[in-house]
Chain A
């Protein structure tokens, strides 16, 4: 198993729903503190770590921002009925994967519980045999109704509580590997950079609220003013339910995003480097917007040349997301090498139509 596994597993056991990322942010900060020169928290809660470059420049030293969102999808309490909770979603949740998932309810104290599907006789008669809608699912804490009414109120958050598990072929399954897998990859990058001189400033950023509003992706570049930005996020792996071009083989390399959300020169630079390093990779065509932090970052202020690296993951937005540790390591190495090669001529390559 990879050296990053214990840290990644720890990230998967910490809550951090969109807009409430504090618990996971603290764990990331602890890991990053020895790897960066300065750490700060943005006004919306994103974590910024900077490693200062060694290069000497006439003006401001150029910088690159690597964004990995740290927020998780989950649920929120909308009502308490007879000691059971009614819920809505935070981020895009498929109600069909919810029945009988273990959860933690963040009430006046953290309570274990389980999402349940009421018996058919208690549901609308025209939904027999169909997936139970989110508004009809309940959460049971096993507590007596009076205790529940004391400890839980509308607006309380609910996190998935599935424990991560290592599967065959150096893969890891659990909830919220979207996108803590990428946080782990960025951490590997920082570890590598500690052993390497790099002329540019490197901003490692764990963004907030990607699953809801991209609030982190829109705001961190304003604080940082990077010259380049890369979003690292998970993408679809081939497997049950995914067989077409939108999926990539699990554990057989990362993806380099290509499309309107990516600066073509950035794509080429990353793709060429990956090939040169013999790191297995795939071109991921993104016909429209990418659904990553690259989408907001590209249009911050006067615009930023942006790229996207994807880590293939099975069963996205379920509590059994599955990812390859090999792919995570490969992304960490690619990023570190890319960053260490950034010099005073690199920006000349970032142009359109070869000019």
Chain B
């Protein structure tokens, strides 16, 4: 098995090392790193903006680039939180706790250096996990009939919406809303128009790009306009020389790094628990097993390295269910799946077999991309820090243009620009009401496939709902769903006493 995995990987490197693929991968990580550093621009918004640009590229290049944005942003986010105490992206919120004090002590450079190193280790582990686990998962998934796929999707949707940030109830409501939005348009089986309200423009359904850009572009801009304060770059003078951690720091880094990696990879295996939860758990664990827990928060390098390693290992691990089962764990993954679908590739267990170039190319490009990021981050740290001083007022207004042209270019249709504005408004209202819009996207991407498989399962079983319980694999998934809901209710009733929950909630409110 290892042998085949290695041959496949070799093949993947062949794909990823093709000149144009390297270029796309490089552009992806570069842009990702950039937006990771910039406050107020998340990977979600960036991937949505870049999505229309990928139509002209081959699917492999497109997915390499978009994935590059995603993990590139994780590197950039660390810079921001360590040097400026700005948790631009939720997973890095805990990095601030010890990272910024280190910066104040003049050890910011060392913290960054150790972070880059830990990130690389974490990511490498995540990739390795992907190489060996994904084919196994696929073999299992090949046995799935429509009923199994259906209940698996149900589990994915539930996990994605309840374990994410904010209230689980609201999360589920948003997922259902997303499913409904996915229904808009012409029904695939009967051809009946649904929810088009007589508008022929809506016949093809709501465009994924319009939805993503509306929710995460316009909605976010509205949320943060005139809110982003100018950054204080007082401590941000870091040169290459500062980045080498001392021997003592190096020694203290190793063990937390591996612990973080392990936590991250475990978290990525549970659908719905993305990098944010992984980094919080990692920090808490590190604090608990430390001999000097009281020192945490004053600039302990362990508290920087462990969450960062776990973030990266879980980011890479998140690709496993997405690529092998076609079930995205969070909104970013949903967006990537959407990008694949736009390219005409059906995600699911058959993906690895039918498009080995995409899967193995992606895996190999992770490594290449991560190496690129290390190279980009270490000597060029000064450039990234400079980027932080770009005022938001220039940023978001230029981004608006990219939003508009992106939506227009997707189908050459002006109507969709208006659609995006409307969705953006809706997204902002929802955000203010405490509904996080990310699960909408999850529901939207999975919705049509869910319906299709549900219908197929019903056809096979002649409308008998018990098929979901009678088939063993499906029953396990359904049981897990029930357990998940039960657990949520249990936690609710006991009251949110856990220290982790409030921190996550405040993050969600941002």
Task: Answer yes or no: do A and B interact.
Answer: no
By a beta-carbon cutoff of 8 Å, the part of chain A in contact with chain B is none
Which residues of B are interface residues toward A (Cβ below 8 A)? none
